A and B are shown apart, each in its own frame.
Chain A
Amino acid sequence: MNIVNEIEKEYIKYEDIPFKAGDLVRVHVKIVEGKRERIQVFEGYVIAIKNSGNRKTFRVRRESYGIGVERVFPLNSPRIEKIEVVRRGKVRRAKLYYLRQRVGKAAQVKQRLK
């Protein structure tokens, strides 16, 4: 194993990612306000998972008051307290950027039933 991978390994929290593109997730993010720390939840569809090693990120999209909001989270960030999977999605591709063109009900992802 090369040295860079070895260093990255120390920061990796998840060997297997607990979710896939299309899943509805709730991301619990630690937010520091001055000295106080609180947890904010961001709920939405995972529309992309990118990069590798400790640089892996995922992009979550949600609609907030009629406006699409996307956030990119570093998967291995210590600021992420917890990632809950609310619902599995049934999708046919890894990057769901087509959801950006859709609004309302069309922007939903079908549930995957096992």
Chain B
Amino acid sequence: MRINMIANKVGMTQIFNEEGNVVPVTVIKVEPCSVVSKKTDEKDGYNALVLGFYNIKENKLRKSESGLFKKSNLTPKKNLKESRVLKEELDKFEIGQEIGIDIFKKDDWIDITGKSKGRGFSGVMKRYGMAGAKRSHGTHEYFRHGGSIGASAYPAHVFKGKKMPGRYGGTRVKIQNISIAAINPDKNILLVKGAVPGPNGGYITVSHAVKKHAVKV
């Protein structure tokens, strides 16, 4: 079973592992969520758990979602997220049940989805890592350009998909197969090895890795 948890990126630091090596880590706060409702095959065409994250006041709730919480008699939640599960697994959960950080263990492989930092309208050096132009030998007004964009009479147009300046960042990015370096269940803190998309304080989604856990976790 693979549960998608909404979490919060806190920031980066480094820790020492058992061998005494330095490991760069991202600190992630995974607060417990609760099962708000279930989607079933008979009614909705698929089986899924609907999880609610972060408590909010009732008056902050969307009207369209308020019925959901009234029916289950739960405290209103800010975000809802579905996790597809098998039918047998669906029965193991009750509405209102809490799911917390304890679904993760140290050294588990996880995938993280986030929204990358928006970089606005960027040039090709930043956006695609192009080398730019020579700074010397008489170069003027041509330093951060991408060079030629194609030939002349043939093909007589610029190919589609040519890498050019434009909006960069602010898109959904998924990082696959990163490992959990340490875990602190008391503080709801996950330390994952390496970087994670998005700014500090941004929302991310954490789940077990699709490619590493062939058997359902």
Contact = CB atoms under 8 A, between A and B. Distances in A.
Interface of A: 2-4, 6-8, 11, 30, 32, 53-55, 74, 76-79
A4 B16 CA distance: 14
B16 A77 contact: yes
Nearest to B8: A3
Interface size bucket, B side?
10 to 19
B148 to A, nearest CB: 44
A53 B22 CA distance: 14
Nearest to B188: A3
A77 B14 CA distance: 11
Contact of A3 (B14, B22, B27): B27
A7 to B, nearest CB: 6
B12 to A, nearest CB: 8
B20 interface: yes
Nearest to B19: A32
A55 B16 contact: no
Interface in B188-204: 189, 191
A30 B22 CA distance: 15
B11 to A, nearest CB: 5
Given A3-B27, A3-B29, A30 B20 contact: yes
A55 B20 contact: no
A6 B19 CA distance: 22
Contact of A8 (B13, B20, B189): B13
